[in-house]
Amino acid sequence: MTKKDLKPILIEALKYYGGAANIIEVCQYIWDHYEQKLRKSGNLFFTWQYDVRWAATTLRRDKTLKPAGLQTNKRWELIDKEI
């Protein structure tokens, strides 16, 4: 597992929560579904929670996530929930 894997996993987590979730829900989903891969990922194991935030930033730039100012209740939201 690498940093590049976090963008699709983040999208997967948001879909699981109906298209929007807060950071705690996203991280819990990732840990519950990818713990073993994270443990075997070398340095990513120590940085993945930071890196998932960076993945969210890049997904905003890619227009996959709503801009931070348009998100409600500090939840990351997919623009198109059908992605």
DSSP string computed for 15-83: HHTTTEE-HHHHHHHHHHHHHHHHHTSTTHHHHHHHHHHHHHHHHHHTTSB--GGG-STT-EEBSSTT-
Backbone angles phi, psi at 20, to 5 degrees: -155, 140
pLDDT in tens, 41-71: 999 999 999 999 999 999 999 999 999 877 6
Q: Average per-residue pLDDT in the chain?
A: 93
